A and B are shown apart, each in its own frame.
Chain A
């Protein structure tokens, strides 16, 4: 089948914070850059980030130090975050944040005119010895919205070429498995095109929609992870899923950790501030995995409220109307809309809700995607032509548990880093790998499969089943036998999805086709998560098992590597060699 080819120096897939920071860097350098996004860029999920971007800019505390931020992040990761990458993020962070201000991001301000910073979970001064820090730079509780719009505006200014409402369906590789670009479909017209580029940057975000209850946007279907796995590339630490303590019960809509940073706290049905029992020092500002587990224990012990005793409350009314309306205006809106609760008067019903994928495509600090010489084991080596940044990537700065406010920093620091690296590589002359017709046909196979489907189960029903399987078998607490059952269910779902039916074959704005293609990706992410979770026989960070309740540093102080071809789980060393500071040695993790 012959399709049109459009050629660029670099393409970025995904128009969220990471993708637009990368494209901005490359557009400024004058290389021919395209950004392909399945939604208009300001509809990307970055827009939903609320509380802020954590970074030691020394506004709230003039003595703040990026090394303290690094310590917190390493500890938060439960020691499987790569220390060289965390060092880079925390050290370069201030520069990247000041750039955002210079671009026009409307940060909230202090009396001195500097950027306002609020306390967030897992933050400390002086390597955990100096008490709670306030390190999260905020634009009220709409930081992601402000960041995303600012980056879109700067891309407009710098002439990035946008392919909005184009859906990237598959990676194109040559016979030697070098990446040559992607197959993408114009959602508006249905045209399928080969986007050819020397550098392909995945910035496709997370995949929270593998769970039935998630804070994630409907578009978070793991398209980048799906494409990588189908191309035979590995994913790292994919069992590590963050459950955010405060999703609005029922709706799943996020309520920022900034609420607790501003002084809010959690209570059970008896009105008890229960976090004092679980984390005597940090209390409600303990790390997210710790708070989410504590909430679930309250609920499982019968101290949840509501008809099924299935949620606890976030209390904010004591902060007063003025603080709530100036610091947390978006939360007030969301609580009224989705919980019919005015936080000025009553507490918000909340429950831990799937929020963030710590794992993803393994990369180095330049965003280069990595694969292992032996599939799931061996040496890590770059995948020629492929980069990944943001939530889809696992660089890894979040390890087994991400700290609040570190995702936005990750986006801008590594979006920028990948842009800088590619700019330099292009200047020195990057190879354009050329696929053969067979390679393009191979990349089109999946799209053709759906287009030619003649009967079978429908997409929405299968998607629901997949989501409830993940919710019931791979939630906050996990257990071997339950996960084994989940793995089997997913294997059966794989067969059924391979035979599912797309009834609507029309060309113009066919969203049913997009949802069908997304379902394949959800399945890839779900299966990788399930197999990795089943095989990591310990509890660490967000991965918490009844049958292996302790952290096992002897066997599992390492990344997991899932190889989609063999479906084997291997291990990869964590980096313990930062360049400018001493290694942070693993310690017992308490808050």
Chain B
């Protein structure tokens, strides 16, 4: 089958280009990451990130035939009709909207900065008990769909609002994490957390486009989390 990969090495290339490779899959429905490994055996200069190869570490987010996803859990058959059969090329590009370091590796700096801005850690100044802080199963259930985020950046880099204002709009990944702590019954910093979001950009640049939801490889719903934060901010304003 044919694979077309975005290549750019700042040491040697003046501009990026797409490079074509031929890979023998023996008809198997391999994962996109397996294809990258086969290409790297032909051409060791290809750069991409990878670690767990099972969809939990978030290293290999990339743009696969136009849609962001994780290479390690995207089988060829799920990319687009005809790709597995070799009738259509597999087209791999770096996540959009972030500076490219090399090939499929992007500079995640601004993405991590936005994550850090939401103070993504539990805040509780009450003296800790000798055992765990108790939490009902119902309260714990509020964290489901939030804590599972793997910081792959597929969502934020598919969000037009994030493309426009990556430094001011926090983006879906960071906002999902913000709500993960707002929703935690053990966290006491609700008021401070909400205050920091109450400006025209941090949260309110979300226009409900929902690209984040359609690309999230873990099936999470940042738009819904953003909606919950909006409601909390509105209730607080009344």
Contact = CB atoms under 8 A, between A and B. Distances in A.
Interface of A: 39-40, 42-45, 47-48, 57, 97-98, 101-104, 106-115, 139, 142, 145-146, 149-150, 153-154, 156-157, 188, 217-219, 251, 253-254, 330, 333-334, 337-338, 458-461, 502-504, 506-512, 515
Contact of B131 (A47, A98, A111): A98
A113 B11 contact: no
B150 A104 contact: no
Nearest to B45: A504
B9 interface: yes
Contacts of B131: 57, 98, 114
A1 B50 CA distance: 32
Given A101-B132, A114-B134, A511-B47, A43 B58 contact: yes
A98 B150 CA distance: 24
Contacts of A459: 44
A102 B54 contact: no
B121 interface: yes
Given A39-B57, A43-B57, A44-B51, 8 more contacts: A103-B121, A112-B134, A142-B56, A217-B52, A218-B53, A504-B44, A506-B11, A512-B45
Interface of B: 9-12, 40-41, 44-45, 47-59, 73, 75, 101-103, 105, 108, 112, 116, 119-122, 124, 128, 130-137, 139-140, 143, 147-148, 150-151, 181, 184, 186-187
Nearest to B185: A113
A508 B102 contact: yes
Contact of B137 (A40, A47, A109): A109
A45 B132 contact: no
B55 A333 contact: yes
Given A104-B122, A112-B134, A43 B44 contact: no
A43 B59 contact: yes
A39 B105 CA distance: 12
Given A109-B137, A112-B134, A145 B53 contact: no
A98 B129 CA distance: 9
A40 B121 contact: no
B138 to A, nearest CB: 9
Contacts of B108: 40
Contacts of A254: 54
B50 A102 contact: no
A104 B121 contact: yes
Contacts of A337: 54-55, 73, 75
Contacts of B187: 104
The 5 closest A-B pairs by CB, nearest first: A104-B122, A113-B134, A101-B132, A153-B121, A512-B44
16 contacts: A43-B49, A47-B150, A101-B132, A104-B187, A109-B139, A113-B136, A113-B137, A114-B132, A142-B56, A156-B121, A334-B55, A458-B44, A460-B44, A461-B41, A503-B45, A512-B45
B133 A503 contact: no
A186 to B, nearest CB: 11
A73 to B, nearest CB: 22
Contacts of A39: 49, 51, 57, 59
Contact of B136 (A109, A156, A217, A502): A109
B132 A115 contact: yes
A145 B148 CA distance: 8
Contacts of A43: 49, 51-52, 57-59
A48 B52 contact: yes
A107 B56 CA distance: 18
Contacts of A253: 53-54
A512 B136 CA distance: 49
A166 B119 CA distance: 25
Contact of B41 (A102, A188, A460): A460
Contacts of B102: 508-509
A45 B59 CA distance: 12
Contacts of B55: 333-334, 337
A22 to B, nearest CB: 18
A227 B49 CA distance: 23
Given A40-B108, A506-B11, A145 B56 contact: yes
B121 A157 contact: yes
A98 B130 contact: yes
A140 to B, nearest CB: 8
Given A338-B54, A506-B9, A506-B12, A106 B150 contact: no
Given A109-B136, A109-B137, A503-B45, A47 B57 contact: yes
Interface core residue of B101, B112, B147, B150 (most chain A CB under 10 Å)? B147
B121 A154 contact: yes
B57 A506 contact: no
Given A102-B132, A114-B132, A149-B147, A508 B101 contact: yes
A106 B116 contact: no
Contacts of B47: 509-511
Contact of A42 (B58, B119, B139): B58
A333 B73 CA distance: 10
Given A106-B184, A253-B54, A509-B47, A42 B150 contact: yes
A515 B46 CA distance: 12
A102 B9 CA distance: 45
B134 A104 contact: no
A162 to B, nearest CB: 10
A459 B139 CA distance: 50
A110 to B, nearest CB: 7
A279 B13 CA distance: 62
A60 B121 CA distance: 27
A206 B142 CA distance: 35
A142 B49 CA distance: 22
Contacts of A504: 44-45
B100 to A, nearest CB: 10
Contacts of B132: 57, 97-98, 101-102, 107, 114-115
